[in-house]
Amino acid sequence: MQLRYSFRVYPSAGQLTALARAFGCARVVFNDALRVREEARAAGLPFITSAELSKRLTAVKKTPERAWLGEVSAVILQQSLRDLVTAYRNFFDGLKGKRPRMGAPRFKSKRDNRQSIRFTANAAWRITSGGKLRLPKIGDLKVKWSRTLPSAPTTVTVVKDAVGRYFASFVVETDASEVLPETTPEIGIDLGLGHFAVLSDGTKVDSPRFLRRAEKRLKKAQRALSRKEKGSRNRDKARVKVARAHAQVADARREFHHQLSTRIIRENQAVAVEDLAVKGLARTRLAKSVHDAGWSAFVSMLEYKAARYGRTFVKIGRFEPTSQVCSVCGVKDGPKPLNVREWTCGACGTVLDRDVNAAVNVAKAAGLAVSACRAQVRRALVPAPRSEAGTHPKRPTQPVWEQAGIPGL
């Protein structure tokens, strides 16, 4: 499978200028190609193919108006055209129902929060013996290597985020050498807001609520930004402060997702989760908490890490009544409001924890070998029948520890 590894890079002053020029050229090529296709569509002409766009790019580089496109690597310009092709393909596949619907390709701006360029293998980029990233017509970039790459990368993408940080993102191929040894546990996971994740073995992972904890700092930074005059240098500085505060929240959330997903995949042979309707929940009054949890990103990490390490990953349907069925006897007694966190089964009298019971049902719906006895359940007290109450003489009872064979203290 293909994996992506990102590392922080620190360009020099001259390299910052070269990168800004490369970002601008890639953006212009993308916008020009998009404009040509939109004009052809408006005029009722046939759809312009990718080969035709590539020929026009080669021709326009020889004109005085676009001669400066030759100052950057030709590979990033061709990759910009490929990005437009991918955007159109995703848009049409969404209309056909092959993938979730998304909007039509839009024009890029130099004020976008994210700027990127991509180099493929034929661009003659490489990693030097000194550990620097050598890019054509840009130079040797200093890279902060936090880990080693498992194999030789095929492509590298240089990304500039809203804070002004630069990253080098490598795409590498991995083999089956990283498959973990088999283990026994198989778990189901119930994702929520009170607890981020509840496992079918009774483990509860608290929700960090990174955005909620940073709201005071974000409010202060955003209020300072609103007071700055538009177009001023101070407004740019305030915008960077707001972006940096949001980036800290996103980085902390991503780190939490990575650590938890890695631990779950390493300790369990099979993992089952529920396909949550995140978009629907994001339109309710719980929208901020739903976005703060980041369920979709966490489930995606579980899925690709399970495939990478040889684990089983199962996603059950979102309409499975996991919170309505008793995990002990299997009786369905209807929906319950969210404020009911513990309930008693009317059939078997078991007191069930709502989240743990749902996690066990998720595992059972996925066909995993999970027993309900692993959940945090207990038998409710059953009153004696009226005919038997008070009929037996009282006998002196032994302490509990003596009944169990444990000497008294």
296-321 core/surface letters (b: 16 or more CB in 10 A; e: else)? eebbebbbebbebeebebbbbeeebe
- Classify residue 166 by its DSSP letter: E
Confidence of residue 78 (pLDDT cuts 50, 70, 90): very high
Side-chain half-sphere exposure of 166, counting CA atoms within 13 A: 19
pLDDT tops 60 at residue 409: no
Q: Please, what is the Cα angle at 263 between 257 and 267, to 5 degrees?
A: 150
When pLDDT is averaged across residues 146-150 and rounded to a whole number, the result is: 90
pLDDT tops 50 at residue 364: yes
How confident is the model over 310-339, as pLDDT tens digits? 899 999 888 888 888 888 887 887 788 777
Structure tokens at 4: 């992506």
When pLDDT is averaged across residues 352-376 and rounded to a whole number, the result is: 74
Strands 204-206 and 195-199, sheet pairing: antiparallel
Asked if residue 275 lies in contact with residue 237, where contact means CB atoms within 8 angstroms, the answer is no
Instruction: Provide, rounded to the nearest whole percent, the portion of the chain with pLDDT above 70.
Output: 89
Catalytic positions, please? 190, 274, 355
pLDDT tops 50 at residue 131: yes
Most confident segment among 35-44, 356-365, 393-402: 35-44
The Cα–Cα gap between 125 and 27 comes to 21
Instruction: Provide, rounded to the nearest whole percent, the portion of the chain with pLDDT above 90.
Output: 62
Residue type, 97: G
Structure tokens at 292: 């703060």
